[in-house]
């Protein structure tokens, strides 16, 4: 058979093989999978616009949150910027009746080498003359002697008078060697009689020796921040390196008068101390004649040596106002000079009150996430002793306080200041401090506060877009 014949022969299809049950099952499963795959593709294809929209929204949300976070962080903390508010005097209504003209004010003439008049309640100096000049101070020394004794010994303690104490010359309480007296009795002898022997007896009892006690006196001087005072003995007799100034002595006196027992002693006119071997007690009289001469007098101490001249530290009170004066090397008229100073203070000065210690004057923002606040307050009473012809300058004060300070904030931290009598020679600046402690919050509190701050920005934005919401 040739090739043409072979090609021309009729072709019959190959008979289809019958599939087994297993083959049919496999083909059916394959077809089902293909259909399911096709449907999933169709579903994904139909949801694609929704997924794209969700992605866009999520991206926008994240970007908006990021921008809001950056803004919140950027707005946290602020520059050291002061805000200013006016504060009128709380007793401003009384000024009209109190004002004087300059011609109505009577400034005393004080011939003493050094002099000062001070209001211890406000710290204001009402009169001064050579107030920082270092000079001898005679028995006004004993004010510091009494302070150190009162702060380092109890009144009931007793001590035996030494031969050295008994031998101290000049003013004395006639203490005998071996005599036993209480600290209280020695203090009365010291301040009322101005007894030098009592000064040494107290020094030896309290300090262990006179030198050690003198070092305690000088330590107290440093504690009080006095720059023109040095002690070489506890009684005040002239000695090299023993000096003070009128300003320092007024500060010492003001401190001493804050001790109730000291006030009681220096106001005492007479005092009795038993006197062994005698049929009568020692009766000592206060050397401060001002207690008899001036009805307002309340203390404090006289002094005299050749080097120091006649000295007087005095206190007086009228209508709730107490003043302290110091006359150093005042000559025979030192009593009259003291009274002139006191009358000048009581008649020509008055108190101007703005606020009391701890009274809130402004709010200072503190930290961020969360932001808190403290009050700006005066660390002391913001009260001034003002000469009555200057009242017009004290009607208002300006309170300058920080708008924001970072964590942490301690109680008493400087947060501002108050300016009184601005633009005048009597202008003063008073420090304002925080009234509370604010510690740095922990990280968890700060995180949630930060999130709250971001959403707070959003809410304010919504309120801006939809007014009245």
Minimum mean pLDDT among 129-133, 202-206, 261-265, 455-459: which range?
455-459
In a domain, 15, yes or no: no
Instruction: Please check whether residues 394 and 457 belong to one and the same domain.
Output: no
The pLDDT value recorded for residue 407 is: 87
Active-site annotation, residues:
139, 142, 194
Verify that 273 and 422 share a domain, yes or no. no
Reported as a pLDDT band with limits 50, 70 and 90, residue 455 is: low
Q: How far apart are CA 361 and CA 429, in angstroms?
A: 15
The pLDDT of residue 169: 76
Q: Residues 304-328: what's their mean pLDDT?
A: 97
- Residue pair 391/99 in contact by the 8 Å Cβ criterion: yes
Tell me how far apart the alpha carbons of residues 118 and 53 are, in angstroms, rounded to a whole number.
80
**Residue 120 maps to a domain:** yes
Please provide the distance, in angstroms rounded to a whole number, between the alpha carbons at the two ends of the chain.
Answer: 103
Position 158 scores a pLDDT of 95
Question: Do 311 and 406 fall into the same domain?
Answer: no
The answer on 318 and 185 residing in a single domain is yes
What confidence score (pLDDT) does residue 64 get? 57
Q: Is residue 129 part of a domain?
A: yes
Residue 27 covered by a domain: no
Residue 441, pLDDT > 80, answer: no
- In CATH, what number is assigned to the domain containing residue 358? 2.60.410.10
Distance of CA 466 to the CA centre of its chain: 48
pLDDT over threshold 90, residue 25: no
- Which of 296, 329, 362 marks a domain boundary? 329
Q: What is the pLDDT of residue 367?
A: 80
Cα–Cα distance measured from residue 204 to residue 226, given in angstroms and rounded to the nearest whole number: 25
Provide the pLDDT for residue 14: 59
pLDDT computed for residue 205 by the predictor: 97
pLDDT reported for residue 11: 57
For residue 369, pLDDT over 90 is answered with no
pLDDT for 52 beyond 80: no
Domain that holds residue 414: 80-97+354-438
Residue position matching structure tokens 């072709």:
11
340 pLDDT more than 90: yes
What is the rounded average pLDDT of the residues 206-227?
97
What ranges in 299-385 are assigned the alpha helix state H? 334-348
Q: Are residues 276 and 382 in the same domain?
A: no
DSSP 8-state symbol, 227 = S
| Position 307 in a domain | yes
Q: What is the pLDDT of residue 261?
A: 98
pLDDT at 446: 65
Which CATH number fits the domain that encloses residue 281?
Answer: 3.40.710.10
Closest CA to 272 of 188, 179, 206: 188
**pLDDT-derived band at 32, boundaries 50, 70, 90:** confident
42 CB contacts (<8 Å, ≥6 apart)?
none
Which of 7-21, 205-219, 430-444 is predicted least confidently?
7-21
How confident is the model at residue 16, as a pLDDT?
63
So what's the pLDDT on residue 324?
98
pLDDT at 198: 96
Please tell me whether residues 150 and 217 are part of one structural domain: yes
Q: State whether 424 and 463 are in the same domain.
A: no
Whether residue 452 is predicted with pLDDT greater than 90 in this model: the reply is no
pLDDT > 70 in the chain, percent: 84
Sign of CA dihedral 153, 157, 163, 168: positive
The token duo for 442 is 């922990």
Domains in the chain, number? 3
Whether this model's pTM surpasses 0.75: yes
Distance CA 165, CA 233 (A): 12
Whether residue 365 is contained in a domain is answered as yes
Structural domain contains residue 87: yes
Share of the chain above pLDDT 90, in %: 69
Which residue intervals of 99-167 are DSSP H helices? 142-152, 163-166
Start-end of H helices in 314-394: 334-348
Question: What is the average per-residue pLDDT within 261-267?
Answer: 98
Residues 420 and 446 in one domain: no
Q: What mean pLDDT is predicted for residues 241-258?
A: 98
Of the residues 294, 329, 364, which one is the last residue of a structural domain?
329
pLDDT for position 395: 93
Q: Is 253 in the same domain as 360?
A: no
pLDDT at position 379 over 70: yes
Q: Which of 11-25, 192-206, 286-300, 383-397 has the lowest mean pLDDT?
A: 11-25
**The predicted structure's pLDDT at residue 372:** 85
What residues contact 150, with CB distance under 8 A and at least 6 apart? 187, 259, 261, 262
Helix (H, G, I), strand (E, B) or coil at 418: strand
- The answer to whether 67 and 352 have CB atoms below 8 angstroms apart is no
Domain-embedded: residue 49: no
> Can you give the pLDDT at residue 67?
61
Tell me, yes or no, whether 150 and 221 share the same domain. Answer: yes
465 and 382 in a common domain: no
Residue 182 pLDDT exceeds 70:
yes
Give the tens place of pLDDT for each residue, 76-111: 556 678 999 999 999 998 888 899 999 999 999 999
Instruction: Name the band, by pLDDT with cuts 50, 70 and 90, for residue 70.
Output: low
The chain-wide mean pLDDT, for the chain, equals 88
Q: What is the per-residue pLDDT for 318?
A: 97
Of residues 44 and 157, the one with the higher pLDDT is 157
User: How many angstroms separate the CA atoms of 335 and 238, rounded?
Assistant: 22
458 — pLDDT class (breaks 50, 70, 90): low
pLDDT at 57: 64
Looking at the fold, whether 165 and 278 belong to one and the same domain comes out as yes
Better-scored residue on pLDDT, 310 or 48: 310
């Amino acid at each position: 058979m040739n090739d043409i014949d072979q090609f021309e022969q009729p072709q019959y299809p190959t008979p289809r093989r019958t599939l087994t049950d297993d083959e049919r099952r496999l083909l059916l499963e394959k077809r089902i999978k293909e259909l399911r795959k096709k449907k999933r593709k169709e579903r994904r294809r139909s949801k694609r616009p929704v997924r794209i929209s969700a992605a866009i929204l999520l991206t926008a949300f994240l970007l908006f949150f990021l921008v809001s976070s950056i803004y919140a962080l950027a707005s946290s903390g602020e520059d050291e910027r002061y805000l200013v508010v006016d504060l009128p005097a709380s007793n401003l209504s009384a000024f009209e009746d109190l004002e004087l003209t300059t011609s109505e004010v009577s400034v005393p003439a004080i011939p003493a080498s050094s002099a000062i008049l001070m209001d211890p309640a406000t710290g204001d100096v009402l009169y001064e003359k050579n107030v920082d000049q270092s000079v001898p101070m005679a028995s006004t020394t004993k004010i510091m002697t009494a302070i150190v004794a009162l702060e380092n010994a109890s009144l009931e303690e007793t001590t035996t008078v030494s031969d050295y104490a008994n031998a101290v010359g000049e003013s004395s309480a006639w203490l005998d060697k071996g005599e036993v007296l209480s600290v209280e009795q020695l203090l009365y002898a010291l301040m009322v009689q101005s007894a030098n022997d009592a000064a040494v007896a107290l020094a030896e009892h309290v300090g262990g020796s006179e030198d050690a006690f003198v070092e305690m006196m000088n330590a107290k001087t440093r504690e009080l921040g006095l720059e023109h005072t040095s002690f070489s003995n506890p009684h005040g007799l002239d000695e090299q390196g023993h000096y003070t100034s009128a300003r320092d002595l007024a500060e010492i006196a003001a401190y001493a008068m804050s001790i109730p027992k000291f006030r009681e002693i220096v106001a005492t006119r007479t005092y009795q101390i038993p006197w062994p071997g005698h049929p009568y007690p020692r009766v000592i009289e206060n050397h401060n004649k001002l207690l008899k001469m001036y009805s307002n007098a309340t203390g404090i101490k006289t002094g005299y040596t050749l080097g120091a001249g006649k000295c007087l530290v005095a206190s007086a009170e009228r209508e709730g106002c107490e003043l302290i004066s110091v006359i150093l090397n005042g000559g025979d008229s030192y009593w009259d000079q003291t009274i002139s100073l006191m009358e000048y203070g009581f008649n020509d000065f008055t108190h101007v009150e703005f606020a009391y210690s701890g009274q809130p004057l402004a709010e200072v923002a503190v930290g961020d996430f969360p932001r808190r606040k403290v009050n700006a307050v005066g660390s002391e009473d913001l009260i001034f002793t003002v000469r009555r012809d200057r009242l017009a300058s004290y009607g208002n004060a300006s309170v300058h306080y920080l708008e924001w300070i970072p964590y942490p904030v301690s109680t008493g931290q400087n947060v501002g200041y108050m300016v009184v009598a601005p633009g005048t020679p009597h202008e003063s600046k008073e420090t304002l401090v925080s009234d509370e402690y604010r510690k740095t919050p922990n990280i968890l509190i700060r995180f949630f506060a930060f999130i709250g701050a971001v959403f707070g920005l959003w809410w304010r934005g919504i309120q801006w877009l939809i007014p009245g919401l």
